[in-house]
Structure 1
Amino acid sequence: MKSLISLAAAAVFLMASSAFAQTGETPPTLPGVATVTAVDAKTLIEKGGVALDVRKKAAYVEGHLPGAKSIRSAINEQTKAIDPSAFGANKDAVILIYGHGTDGWSAVDAAKAAAEAGYKNVKWLRGGWSEWSKAGLPSEQ
């Protein structure tokens, strides 16, 4: 009986671990979220959209989109849950979420969380910082 319980516990642990350890390419689209290019993102920022950076603080400090706010501290590293207050109070505002690039699952999680929390204008820069940099668009440090 003990070994059966141990085996069941190990299986649950492995399934839970794999749920949080997403790897590979992110999906091209997300429900309730508009996928945008770097050029689209630049236009959104120029029109007052709020850019939210999910990368670790060191990457953010090295360079980020103009006016972007780091929301990494709003992400629970164990559960990957995101404090919805990081998205701001205005659920009608345009919020642009980005990470490192097409393998950036933290940005996927943040964009999904924003849409699920009722934010109506969630934009996702799927190509992330990588696409922005390659396009030669302006950045801040």
Structure 2
Amino acid sequence: MNALASLAAILILAVAPAAADDVRPDTPTSVKGARIVTVEEAKKLLDRKATNLVDARSPLNFGKGHVPGATLVSYREKSEYKVDFDATQDVFDLARLPADKNASVVIYSDGPSGWKAYKATVLSVRAGYRNVLWMRDGFAGWVGKSLPVEH
């Protein structure tokens, strides 16, 4: 019994760091130079065809369902989940955003823990885009409001 308890303790200690790595902190609640929009605000802009929607998730998740009319511009991240992330570790194709840097762009990913959208928003602002909107509640928020989904 003692050996079994020791084995259990070793397994718990071996697995615990991996489980801790999977825990993502929520994203910040603001981005300098951008504005957070609600799902409802993004829907109104979309209905008026007054914005460009950018989905920063993976192609796999985009294929499972996305906001109608959204363009996939995957954010491939290796940087840490923190405000002062190292963007040189990541890949985001800014050339896929509208050429007009005054155009409205709504960026989203999974939801409040979706760092891809946060990071894409930061990089878009740094690149000189002046009307960047971040749908922080993301695709989860969209689906949670029972809004239409495109596959």
TM-based fold match above 0.5: yes
Checking the alignment, whether the CA contact within 8 Å between 2:65 and 2:150 is kept in structure 1 is yes
What CA RMSD, in Å, does the superposition of the two structures yield over aligned residues?
1.7
Matched ranges for 1:34-53 at <5 A: 34-48=35-49, 49-53=51-55
Q: Distance in 2 between matches of 1:124 and 1:77?
A: 18
Displacement of 1:23 after TM fit?
Answer: 2.7
Sequence identity (%): 33
Q: List structure 1 segments (4+ residues) > 2 angstroms apart after TM superposition.
A: 75-78
Unaligned runs of 5+ in 2: 1-21, 79-88
Matched ranges for 1:54-69 at <5 A: 54-69=56-71
Displacement of 1:22 after TM fit?
Answer: 9.2
Unaligned runs of 5+ in 1: 1-20
TM-score, L = length of structure 2: 0.74
Q: Distance in 1 between matches of 2:37 and 2:73?
A: 19
Tell me which residue corresponds to 1:25.
26
Number of equivalences: 119
Checking the alignment, whether the CA contact within 8 Å between 1:80 and 1:109 is kept in structure 2 is no
Bigger Rg, structure 1 or 2: 2
Equivalent position amino acid for 1:97 in 2: I
**What is the SS of the residue equivalent to 1:136?**
coil
Q: Distance in 2 between matches of 1:63 and 1:57?
A: 10
